[in-house]
Structure formats: structure tokens, C-alpha cells
Amino acid sequence: MATGRTHRPATRSRGIPEATVARLPLYLRALTGLSERSVPTVSSEELAAAAGVNSAKLRKDFSYLGSYGTRGVGYDVEYLVYQISRELGLTQDWPVVIVGIGNLGAALANYGGFASRGFRVAALIDADPAMAGKPVAGMPVQHTDDLEKIISENGVSIGVIATPAGAAQQVCDRLVAAGVTSILNFAPTVLSVPEGVDVRKVDLSIELQILAFHEQRKAGEDAAVAEAAAAVVPPVRATGNGRKGPDGDMPAVMPA
């Protein structure tokens, strides 16, 4: 099986837009679910709904892959799984190192979804000497002193940074110098990398702050609607024990 250091996805050379690349994993996740249920074909509308996009965008995305489906039948699920997996480079073996084995790093190490998606955790690395040799997710943690050697021996091109913010840039520099060209950054800081190195940032606190913004806005809109409604509809005053009629108060219960 080829390793990540010698083979790279062909998406850029084939001119697939980055927005389309970002949606391919969504399609693959939905298709994998269909495959697991032994669904042979799927329409663009059904797959788009499962992936959370509109069907026109899905068809446009698939046109970059040269996949157009069959009228009246739809898309072959198994073939699409293979086609998207190949385009994303998931038919190859991608050794990954995780640097920073605190609570988050340990959680990532224990995540079972990497292997099923083509990623093999080759090493767990931490700067704390007390962590060296400690088993996490069935693997011994190795010290950062050996980072370059580990990357070279395992042919690693993807690194995951889960260190505190203050250590992230130094770790990033060492990863890049050792030959890592793609980095997934969980540290709450912006990394500076040379041209040719890809960085994807995952910041949970930022995502929560964005949700808080939307919650605050929704609360403000609800309050504004309630205030407007109160201003437009005057309170109803009851006169007597019933409703107002042309000849005076109407009793709440009419006599038989």
C-alpha cells in the first residue's frame, strides 16, 4: 500500500474548487451510511438532503469528478464511495502523528474513526518526560526529542497539534522542518507556515462563540417582535362580566 509521503491527492491538479473539496467528506459520510444499509443507488435529491446541501450544488460538485449518474436511476453508491475516497486520497495509507497528549490529544488518540477513513496514528508525542512510555489508546507516548526521527521513520506527512497555544508554533516549525506538509491545528492560536504547507484549524471555543452570537440575536429578535406586538395590539379591557355589545355589556353566559 502506498504511503502519504509518496502519493498525494490530485484535486488541485484537476482544478476541483476548494469549496467542492470541503463538501466531498460530507458526501462520503452520507454515502458510507447508505452503503452500510446495502442501498444500491441514490438520487441526487436524496444524497443532497443526507449531506445537507442542495441537489444542484451536489450535481455540480460531482461533475468535477466526472460522475453524472443515470437518469431515472441515480448514482451507484459503491462506485461513488470509491470515487470520492480515491479523490480524497483515502485509498492510501496516511500515517499521522499527534503532538500534545493532554485531555484533547488523548481523546483524539482514542477516536476510532481515523483508521476506518484511511488514517493511521503512527505516533503519540508529548513534551512532558513523565508521559514518555505511558500507554494511551494502546500506544506508548514518545518524547518530543524524537519528533524528527519519528516522522522520518514513519513517512509522516500529516501532523496534528493539540498542544497549549504557547507551544504550538514551535511544534509546527519542527514538524514542517521534518517534512510534514499538512497540519491539523487544535491549539487556540494562528500558525505561521511557509508556502506549500496546508493548515486546517479547529477551534471549539470559536464555534461556541459563534453559536452564542446567533442565540443572542434570536433572543433580541424575539424580544423585538414581542414589543412590536404589544405596541400594535392594545390590551382588551373587560367591561362588566362579558363582552361589549351594541346595547351594552353582554353577559359571559347567555340565559337559556
- The vertex-253 CA angle with 247 and 256, nearest 5°, equals 95
Q: What is the DSSP letter of 141?
A: E
Neighbours of 46 (CB within 10 A): 16
CA distance 199 to 190: 10
DSSP assignment of 91-119, as one string?
A: TSBEEEEEE--SHHHHHHHT-THHHHTTE
Query: What are φ and ψ of residue 171, in 5° steps?
Result: -65, -45
pLDDT, tens only, 204-255: 888 899 999 999 988 888 888 888 877 776 655 655 555 555 555 544 444 4
Indicate if the pLDDT at residue 2 is higher than 80. no
Q: What is the mean pLDDT of residues 43-65?
A: 93
**Model pTM?**
0.72
Mean pLDDT of the chain: 86
Pairing of strands 135-136, 139-143: antiparallel
Q: How high is the pLDDT of residue 244?
A: 53
Q: How high is the pLDDT of residue 236?
A: 59
CA distance 80 to 47: 11
Contact 175, 183 (CB under 8 A): yes
pLDDT, tens only, 77-132: 999 999 999 999 888 889 999 999 999 999 999 998 887 778 999 999 999 999 99
